Structure 1
């Protein structure tokens, strides 16, 4: 089973991407819910490496240049929600006579780019390059998550924390708390530092909205 979860279909800014998850018409097996859960780390393929076609099912090389991001939001697209007219066919009949109509429903997830991966290794910060529409999105392995969060000395690093805290998004504090808790399983020796960071983020999430 591949680790691909979908493809890029839109962007809201240089670091804010929208990924459409693979549906039943693109893949026999849809990505499991934990693959795109809130706070999940993902990789977005970069040119000149082409986005993987859903028809081939091939994954990009692990060392191929990519953006490293995290899932921070989800959206459901369902045109039938606003369709108040009479239904001429049932849902089961549509799958037989008009299977293409199923493409109108989709699950989208928002991905914040936290850095990138190239031949020099993983880097945190605002990437210079941007992904293209159709770029493949896959989940990161545990080892890739650990490598991304180590600096040149092998120490735990969250340089992107200040940048995403500055974003005007109410989900950011919860996202950072989730990331910190997640990293605790990969860096048990850094629990003391992570706890200090967690307390700081939690305090800011309470004080800043009020002030």
Structure 2
């Protein structure tokens, strides 16, 4: 990646909006539906292990909080209901929101953050930290897919490959912690040439999972 290469662009796909939090680094987002956005995400856009970002402003400076999709849940309030529906499908845009409440919810764990700076065609990560973000997100904040360039830059905060967040991620994602960490490692294999270091981290994650959690062997 060259210096000043944009990692965030105006045409990045927004996939969801924040609806609640489970803690400082653990958020729930609702995937956009047809009547929410002109361009709606497809299933592969919010798959397990998808890197994402959310922009926020802190003391007048714009930052990107970087995270990963670690879980999904389908919500169907009609399940188990008896009797006719209150509307037909062609009435969807003209009835109250409570009539059509089917949702796809995503669990998003924050991995770190980056300060943003202008770059030709978008914004770049001026500096990167894999520490726990100190700031909270807001309800309705938009969640967007992180580009490959952004994914690489985030994992080289000081020019060297790093996954300093992985202990926190395993704890926050609970039963899916090992799997989502391994998913990120596989993405890094495709984006970097640090195979030896990734092998070491993968062995450590698998060993800890097999001895402490019995999740991945």
Same fold by TM-score greater than 0.5: yes
Q: CA RMSD in A?
A: 2.3
Q: Following superposition of structure 1 onto structure 2, how do residues 66-145 of structure 1 map, counting pairs within 5 Å?
A: 66-83=64-81, 85-88=82-85, 91-92=88-89, 94-95=91-92, 98=95, 100-101=97-98, 103-119=100-116, 120-145=126-151
Q: Can you give the 5+ residue segments of structure 2 that lack an aligned partner in the other structure?
A: 1-10, 117-125
Find the counterpart in structure 2 of residue 44 from structure 1: 54
1:205 aligns with 2:209: yes
Q: Is the 8 A contact 1:7 1:19 kept in 2?
A: yes
Provide the rounded CA distance (Å) in 1 between the counterparts of 2:157 and 2:199.
Answer: 19
**Deviations for 1:28-53, whole angstroms, at most 9, x for unmatched residues?**
3311222211111111121369xxxx
Tell me the distance in 2 between the aligned counterparts of 1:206 and 1:76.
Answer: 29
Q: Which residue of 178, 182, 191 corresponds with 2:187?
A: 182
Q: Mind listing any 5+ residue stretches in structure 1 that lack a counterpart?
A: 50-62
Which aligned runs of 4 or more in structure 1 are off by greater than 6 angstroms?
Answer: none
Give the equivalent residue in structure 1 for 2:24. 14
Where 1:107 maps in the other structure, the secondary structure is strand
Q: Which has the higher strand share?
A: 2
CA positional deviation for 1:184: 0.4
**8 Å CA contact 2:87, 2:95 repeated in 1:** no
Structure 2 length-normalised TM: 0.80
